[in-house]
A and B are shown apart, each in its own frame.
Chain A
């Protein structure tokens, strides 16, 4: 009997082949024989081939072309996929790290102090459900820079999960461990760094993982609005070019990079996870 992993891999492969096969077949153009059409049908343009979703074979060929030269730069509207993803990653990571620098200390404060929790909670509850893109006009007006506005949108969307999870993790640190710190006469600062931070770290990392996922979702939409560079802009630009093969290829790349970001953080989570 094969191991579960191997069986799962085989089954995955079967699903992939089946799905690609159906896609390939369904996107084949109907061959319409000219002579069988009525005059009316000819007038209505039935003989003109309909635009169809490109078949997977086209996408694979395009992927091969793009990935064999990912970093070419032939002008503002023609850059390699690697450059576009690079811009998006730069924006995501900048906004995300800025959010982490604000959210984690603030979350600590909220988690440690019931007073601060109660004082700030109403604002958090109002600000959190706002779609990050709704901030875009305001950001553009205040910051007056499209690039920085995109980063701000990432900042504002990734701050909430990190803030809430940090506060939740810090507030939930077992009182036994806090008592250990107290009986060892640790200062507030040392307690925060040597007891509360490691105790809350898995919860904080979970928040960071949710945040990076949201940030990667939002950057595509933000770049469609802001334009210029980035994978979101690339998708929209290829749509304007009516190049659906590239659109599908870039959709797959977005998924792939998103998965890698998540895998990176989940590896980090495993590193600081502890067993009670």
Chain B
């Protein structure tokens, strides 16, 4: 089997239950891969362990079982190779917007001159359109602006893999849409490899190449690996008119509403089934096997 850029093998996370000689399995048998430049979303109900998977990928927490291999090396701790954007932005509130980005850039390239670090940081702040408010502290920025700074900080360190943990969960729908479009164009221009948690089906379709569907926890597994076979560049306004958009969307919703509970027992093998609802709906042959 060809090794992918990121390879997650038989990941499991169990926590001991206090007072009893048992443990709670959050998820188990999680195996999937991500190619370089691919954008993969993971969707599941609250409590299925999405964030725990994220922590294992970032290296913040060690999984109980299994390994994460990135670029041929096992993940054994946090690294600048994996940039993380947290749900609650996690900007340092005593630093200005620009200084928050400088913080990341300086950590990434400690040997760079002050001037070079500043220019580089400026460039990424510009990329998210926040040059006007560079001296403001996070407390003086709106939620959308804070998340933009957070995204700029992650992109500025040029990680090999970008991990996004429900980055737009706390934003209102309008702001979310604007930043999603920005993320689409930034990802298109940088060919960034991204792994993102979301529970917004439309967001996942807009952004992702593949969507991993998780069954309900505890003892959650990845039930399906759904290919988003829609042409790029995608735009929020036009992607809904693409043929196949609704068959894909219905498939995802059907899973989340009707099948995510039972999916646990239905899945037996470690590798999730690869599904392409768009091709299936149009009656065409199954496309190039993505998971070969």
Contact = CB atoms under 8 A, between A and B. Distances in A.
Interface of A: 176-177, 179-180, 182-186, 194-195, 198-199, 201, 272, 274-276
Contacts of A179: 60, 78, 84, 86, 90
A198 B88 CA distance: 19
B79 interface: yes
A183 B92 contact: no
Given A179-B84, A186-B107, 7 more contacts: A182-B60, A183-B58, A183-B59, A183-B82, A183-B84, A184-B80, A274-B94
Given A182-B60, A183-B60, A177 B92 contact: yes
Contacts of A201: 94
B94 A185 contact: no
What range describes how many residues of B lie at the interface? 20 to 34
Nearest to A179: B60
A274 B90 CA distance: 14
A122 B17 CA distance: 30
18 contacts: A176-B88, A177-B90, A177-B92, A179-B60, A179-B90, A180-B86, A182-B77, A183-B60, A183-B79, A183-B83, A183-B84, A185-B79, A185-B107, A198-B94, A199-B92, A199-B94, A274-B93, A274-B94
Interface string B163-186: 000000000000000000000000
Contacts of A185: 78-80, 107
B217 interface: no
Q: Which of B59, B82, B107, B139 has the most CB of A within 10 A?
A: B107
B40 to A, nearest CB: 19
A180 B163 CA distance: 13
B61 to A, nearest CB: 10
Nearest to B105: A184
B155 to A, nearest CB: 14
Contacts of B80: 183-185
A194 B60 contact: no
B137 interface: yes
Q: Which of A199, A201, A274 has the most CB of B within 10 A?
A: A274
Contacts of B86: 176, 179-180
A180 B92 contact: yes
Interface string B137-181: 101100000000000000001000000000000000000000000
Contacts of B88: 176
Contact of A194 (B78, B93, B103, B108): B103
Contacts of A198: 92, 94
Contacts of A195: 92
